[in-house]
Structure 1
Amino acid sequence: MNTDKLVKLIRYIAAIPKSLYVNLRLLPFDQAIKLPIIVSNRTKLISLNGKVKLDKVKTGLVRIGFTGADMIDYRYSRAMLQIDGEFTVKGKVKIGKGTRLIVAGDLDLGANFIATGDNTIICEKQMSIGSDCMFAWESVVMDTDQHAIFDQSGDQINTEDRVAIGNNVWLGARSFVLKNSVIADGCIVAANTTVTRSIAEKDVIIAGAPSKKIKEGVHWQH
């Protein structure tokens, strides 16, 4: 066994106690004992008062805090996990080192999802992410502004609104997808792009702040 594989094995063994606790808090006992959710022992657990729904139950189906971009140092990057809403998982998921996953609303996550590392995903109301999606490092997806803004009458003017991301969508590094955003299947969101609206056309590259289409008829793969 080479050094990289040995280090990886040690990290997974060290993750067993915290992973068992997470599974027992979020899943029925007969599912929890199979450890479908594996969290790095470096993961900070904020709150686990919600529930996770799995389309299938398999050991290591959801992995949090292990993989990631090479420039993210495992020793110093801590994933953060808060599940107070309902988190539905439809297949294999890898959430990388240093990623912050905050679910207070309803988050629906498709199969073969990868968040490469230092990502932020905040679901306060409703968020859906399709299958075969990849979020590059330091990308941010959130359906809330985090702080309320009121007009002179005292009415809040920035309530949470849904985010819907289709299948096979790639978010580039340091991109932002904010509330009220809808992104169609096959789209590529370029690095440093801010999305705040509906992108209805499939298989396009969008870039800029505010975002706009810069190329159509594109395809990408993991």
Structure 2
Amino acid sequence: MLKLRKISHIFKYLFGFPKSVYVNFRLLPFNQALKLPIIVSNKTKLISLNGEVNLTKVKTGIIRIGFGGTEHIDYTYTRTILKIDGIVNFKGRAKIGLGSKFIIHKEAIFSAGERFGITGDTIILCTKKISIGDNARISWQTIIMDSDHHPVLDINNNIINNPTEIVIGNGVWIGARCFILKNTNIDDGCIIAANTTITKNFSGIKHSVIGGNNAKILKTYIRWYN
């Protein structure tokens, strides 16, 4: 069974090879693109690649997009969506799982630390700035977005809901079906309970469980292993 799984992975990488080559040479400097640090599944739909990716480490396959997932994701019919028109910074190894939508708009900046991981079927929509620390884990069907996606105007036609930065610290675990919305700050070592909506600042509150309908501290002095 393990051998068959390895063979399946090899074929998935081979099927995505042409798309991986295109993504690398579109987003990276030529000398980095030659090493193919970004490996893309053939199940990834490329919407737009007019931005740039900056890598602190350049190794073959250090960034994987569209692989993995969970039991409820059907690999045959599920696609990953990739749109990078802004700037993406990866400090180290990263995995964006199958079925995720990774949308970085023009003039936006997305940054992720070492060992960044998305299980799958998650949306990241960056309009201004999203920063995520080292060893962060994001579970399935989570949405992280730093804007309301549609402008709201006052009577003088001024926008009153501008995008606001999201900051997620080191070692943060975000559970399934969470909403991490604009103006959010989550400190190091925190766990966000499943189905939680975060819209405020939790900086200065390290190693805590945050959850509930009106997000609050549920438990302190915790530690999880990733």
Deviation at 1:209, TM superposition (A): 2.5
Matched, 1:118 2:142: no
* Cα deviation digits, residues 160-188 of structure 1 (max 9, x gap): 00000000000000001000000000000
User: Which residue matches 1:219?
Assistant: 223
**Aligned partners of 1:117 and 1:136 also within 8 Å:** yes
User: Which residue matches 1:74?
Assistant: 75
Inter-partner Cα distance in structure 2 for 1:66 and 1:75: 12
Deviation at 1:70, TM superposition (A): 2.1
Deviation at 1:151, TM superposition (A): 1.4
Q: Give 1:156's match in structure 2, choosing from 156, 159, 167.
A: 159
* Cα deviation digits, residues 36-63 of structure 1 (max 9, x gap): 0011011000100000000010000100
Q: Which runs of 4+ in 1 moved over 3 A?
A: none
User: Which residue matches 2:135?
Assistant: 132
Matched, 1:50 2:51: yes
**Aligned partners of 1:195 and 1:209 also within 8 Å:** no
Inter-partner Cα distance in structure 1 for 2:214 and 2:112: 26
User: Which residue matches 2:94?
Assistant: 93
Give the TM-score, by structure 2 length.
Answer: 0.96
Matched, 1:210 2:226: no
Inter-partner Cα distance in structure 2 for 1:71 and 1:65: 15
What is the RMSD of the two structures over their aligned residues, measured on CA atoms?
0.9
Q: Which amino acid aligns with 2:213?
A: A
Runs of 5+ in structure 2 lacking a partner? none
Inter-partner Cα distance in structure 2 for 1:33 and 1:123: 28
Q: Give 1:147's match in structure 2, choosing from 150, 166, 187.
A: 150
User: Which residue matches 1:19?
Assistant: 20
* Cα deviation digits, residues 132-170 of structure 1 (max 9, x gap): 010000011110111011112211110000000000000
Q: Which amino acid aligns with 2:196?
A: T
Deviation at 1:76, TM superposition (A): 1.4
User: Which residue matches 1:174?
Assistant: 177
Inter-partner Cα distance in structure 2 for 1:211 and 1:153: 33
Inter-partner Cα distance in structure 2 for 1:169 and 1:190: 11
Q: Which amino acid aligns with 1:218?
A: I
Inter-partner Cα distance in structure 2 for 1:175 and 1:210: 13
Query: Between Structure 1 and Structure 2, how many residues are aligned?
Result: 222
Inter-partner Cα distance in structure 1 for 2:167 and 2:183: 8
**Aligned partners of 1:143 and 1:163 also within 8 Å:** yes
Inter-partner Cα distance in structure 2 for 1:134 and 1:74: 21
Runs of 5+ in structure 1 lacking a partner? none
Q: Which amino acid aligns with 2:195?
A: N
Query: SS state of the match for residue 151, structure 1?
Result: coil
Inter-partner Cα distance in structure 2 for 1:68 and 1:204: 26
Query: SS state of the match for residue 67, structure 2?
Result: coil
Inter-partner Cα distance in structure 2 for 1:4 and 1:140: 30
* Cα deviation digits, residues 185-205 of structure 1 (max 9, x gap): 000000000000011200000
Identity %: 48
